[in-house]
Structure 1
Amino acid sequence: MQCDYFDAGVCRSCTAMGVPYARQLAAKQARVADLLGAHQRLSWQEPHASVESGFRTKSTMVVAGAPESPTLGILDADGRGVDLSACGLLGPATAVAMPVLRDFIAEAGLRPYDVPRRTGELKYVHVVEAADGGLLVRFVLRSEGQVGRLRRALPRLRELLPVHVVSVNLLPEHKAVTSGDTEILLTEAGTLAMPVGDVTLHVAPGAFVQTNGAVAAALYRQAGGWIDAELGRGPLGRAVAEPTRRAPGRPETASVLDLYCGVGGFALHAAGPGRAVHGVEISEQAVASARRSAAEAGVAATFDRGDATDYALSLTSPPDLVIVNPPRRGLSARLAAWLESCGVGAVVYSSCNPVTLARDLAAMPTLEPVRARLFDMFPQTDHVEVLTLLRRR
């Protein structure tokens, strides 16, 4: 992939830009295999590649510049805006939307936040796109001062773009985060419907969704296939080749616990006849979205808001299988210790940080990694997603 921003030296976020994609993928696979090299029985499947550009289904842009000529992108070393509204990684609908949003911000009179001077209002714009081109747009403001202005300009934005969901997030503090605690919905619709894999996810403003929708679909399907094999039946109740041995006296309904479940991508792909699937997630918006997706799909999956570690430690008996998809910091030491000692038969671990994945696997020696696959969510960078299946020794 060629990038004018990278060539001009104005953005170096994509550290692998210009490296042939086959070499990028091979280097990622070699690095992750080396980090997990202590697990000699681990069988690697072929890496799942991505398209090289136009893959981002969610994007966060810093808003800066002057009110009449805002920038959407990043900040330079002096805190000044660098416009990246034509970034080649943006998904097709987002690529169309970014320059329109930039002009809309100026037209609506929304004042960009000036980081060095700590003045202005509009800090970020978050955009999520669905496969049909529908958009979720989230404006992150310093205060409620410009909410009325944005609300009045909303009909114009809807004339310009296929926006299904628009919200304002309030971030009054001057700190290095991209959103605050208060969300103000400006549209009737509160979620964006996103078909991903075999289900439709409903994404609310602020709810976690994978950056690369096409690769996320493959990730969820791979996890679902491994889970079907471990539990001895497919998603439609079909027998499969490698069922996990069920202890005498265990009920026929298999229990699956999805920790850090987000909007339910893994849980919904794990659901099926003979399954009791339950997801736990700290985000209230994500739990509401997951419940709606499960209801519309007619699958037996339930969801609760809560801390993953606290919920797991409150259980009196282990589930048959646990799914974990933690943030970059990985599992807490308490959760890793619970997985090691609770007696769960299998764990599906999806990691966006192979360093913390290796650390967590070392903390769970009786759960043996047997299968793994790299999913390239982030071409042009060294970031990866790794899916690993662990079985009790």
Structure 2
Amino acid sequence: MSFCSFYDTDACRSCSMIDLFYGEQLNEKGALLHKLLHPFEPKQWLKPSPSQLKGFRNKAKMVAIPSRDGIVLGLSEESSLIQCPLYDVSMQHALGQIQTWLRELKIQAYDVRVKKGELKYVLLTRSAHNGTMMLRFVLRSHGIIGRLKNGLDDLVARVPKLTVITVNIQPIHMAILEGEEEIFLTDQTRLEENLNSIPLFIRPKSFFQTNTDIATKLYKTASEWAGESKPKIIWDLFCGVGGFALHCATPERHIVGIEIEAEAIACAQESAKRIGFENLTFKALDAASFGAESGERADVIIVNPPRRGLGEQLCKWLERVGSERILYSSCNAQSLAKDLENLSGYRVNRVQLFDMFPHTAHFETLVELVKN
């Protein structure tokens, strides 16, 4: 038996390793990482950075499901996941209040079988810094926005920590989480987070790590590794809201952060203003586009690509740039290993596992590459 009743009753099997002792989970993940990276002969394997076991997730992505009693936030008519132990008690309480409020408003969940109803998903994000939350309703159309607005004061009275509330329009009958159009129902448009005394901001479409405690350790470690050679220029590719770049910032160091999502860049720019360093630059570009246009050479390059990895083309460009060191933060050890094959001009110096996703087979890896 695990500590999760949803897993034990087969209602949810997302946490496939939850019935293992946590030490066994880390051992299995470490063994996989060693197997994949052994051919590259890392000089140093550092101890894994462990996570809390409960209440560590700062994001909840809930499917809205129709039932006779009204909307259910979870997996099926019988299985609401609002009390998932991966969320802290404040998020569980908020999700419960949101579900009750939606039922009282008689909001209809989108039924994929008959293509009727309005609400598709409820997305909730919590700041560990001050406990404030961002709530997003993903709708099929604009049809019920007025009803949501009319009941908003009541919802906020029940959950005062809800400071950012939006509607996202996703009209396509496909398993796509969100659409292009985002409509703010509140004056406030972003959450403020604070990691290692660095202010970070989260807007609806900006990427942010799901495990705040582990993200704090990951950013701190990367900034320490990056700073050891006293680099003058650092590039942060796939920078998101700027976590790595901002942690590496110093008054004398020039840092450029690149991210394709404009909302994330807006957050990073807000953080840079708050810090007050003028040599921090963030651009909304595809990393490959930046690679094609950049004329200078960075001393250290930090990359944090999506699960698909960097790909052969970007790896070849990194080799041509020839920076002395690359720090690679990966959420997919398989694609990391493929990219390391394409970065043959570098040797693996240090490797550390960060358990961003306890109870699953997933984890984050930070690798330091040094030019041959």
TM-score between the two structures when normalised by the length of structure 2:
0.96
Within the alignment, does 1:158 sit opposite 2:153 as a pair? no
Aligned-residue CA RMSD (Å): 1.4
- Equivalent residue, structure 2, for 1:330: 309
1:274 offset after TM fit, Å? 1.9
Aligned-residue sequence identity (percent) comes to 38
- Equivalent residue, structure 2, for 1:278: 256
* Aligned partner letter, 1:61: M
- Equivalent residue, structure 2, for 1:382: 361
SS of the equivalent of 1:109 reads coil
- Equivalent residue, structure 2, for 1:245: none
After superposition, what is the alpha-carbon deviation per residue over 1:320-350, rounded to whole angstroms, capped at 9, x for unaligned? 1111111000013211110112211111110
- Is the Cα–Cα contact under 8 Å of residues 17 and 380 in structure 1 kept in the other structure? yes
- Equivalent residue, structure 1, for 2:336: 357
- Alignment gaps of 5+ in structure 1: 233-253
- Is the Cα–Cα contact under 8 Å of residues 309 and 330 in structure 2 kept in the other structure? yes
Residues 212-291 of structure 1: pairs in structure 2 closer than 5 A: 212-231=211-230, 254-291=232-269
- Equivalent residue, structure 2, for 1:36: 37
- Is the Cα–Cα contact under 8 Å of residues 321 and 345 in structure 1 kept in the other structure? yes
CA distance in 2, matches of 1:99, 1:69: 13
1:67 offset after TM fit, Å? 7.3
- Is the Cα–Cα contact under 8 Å of residues 64 and 81 in structure 1 kept in the other structure? no
Question: Which segment is superposed worse, 319-328 or 35-44?
Answer: 35-44
After superposition, what is the alpha-carbon deviation per residue over 1:149-183, rounded to whole angstroms, capped at 9, x for unaligned? 11111111110111110111110001122111110
SS of the equivalent of 1:37 reads helix
- Equivalent residue, structure 1, for 2:173: 174
Within the alignment, does 1:321 sit opposite 2:300 as a pair? yes
* Aligned partner letter, 1:365: S
SS of the equivalent of 1:295 reads helix
CA distance in 2, matches of 1:39, 1:204: 38
1:68 offset after TM fit, Å? 4.3
Pick closer, same or farther for the CA change 1:81–1:283 going to 2, 3 Å: farther
1:273 offset after TM fit, Å? 2.5
CA distance in 1, matches of 2:294, 2:66: 52
SS of the equivalent of 2:64 reads strand
After superposition, what is the alpha-carbon deviation per residue over 1:19-59, rounded to whole angstroms, capped at 9, x for unaligned? 00011011111111110001214311110000111100111
After superposition, what is the alpha-carbon deviation per residue over 1:1-32, rounded to whole angstroms, capped at 9, x for unaligned? 51111111111111002100011011111111
- Alignment gaps of 5+ in structure 2: none
* Aligned partner letter, 1:194: E
Question: Which segment is superposed worse, 171-180 or 87-96?
Answer: 87-96
SS of the equivalent of 1:388 reads strand
CA distance in 1, matches of 2:109, 2:42: 54
- Is the Cα–Cα contact under 8 Å of residues 45 and 372 in structure 1 kept in the other structure? yes
* Aligned partner letter, 1:371: R
1:197 offset after TM fit, Å? 2.8
* Aligned partner letter, 1:273: P
After superposition, what is the alpha-carbon deviation per residue over 1:117-154, rounded to whole angstroms, capped at 9, x for unaligned? 11111011111101222100011001111111111111
CA distance in 1, matches of 2:10, 2:305: 34
CA distance in 2, matches of 1:123, 1:25: 35
- Is the Cα–Cα contact under 8 Å of residues 325 and 349 in structure 1 kept in the other structure? yes
CA distance in 2, matches of 1:30, 1:198: 34
CA distance in 1, matches of 2:292, 2:113: 45
CA distance in 1, matches of 2:5, 2:283: 45
- Is the Cα–Cα contact under 8 Å of residues 373 and 388 in structure 1 kept in the other structure? yes
* Aligned partner letter, 1:303: F
CA distance in 2, matches of 1:194, 1:92: 19
- Is the Cα–Cα contact under 8 Å of residues 71 and 107 in structure 2 kept in the other structure? no
- Is the Cα–Cα contact under 8 Å of residues 42 and 351 in structure 2 kept in the other structure? no
- Is the Cα–Cα contact under 8 Å of residues 70 and 106 in structure 2 kept in the other structure? no
1:367 offset after TM fit, Å? 1.5
CA distance in 1, matches of 2:218, 2:180: 30
After superposition, what is the alpha-carbon deviation per residue over 1:336-389, rounded to whole angstroms, capped at 9, x for unaligned? 110112211111110000000000011001111101110001111000000111
- Equivalent residue, structure 1, for 2:184: 185
- Is the Cα–Cα contact under 8 Å of residues 136 and 165 in structure 1 kept in the other structure? yes
1:294 offset after TM fit, Å? 1.2
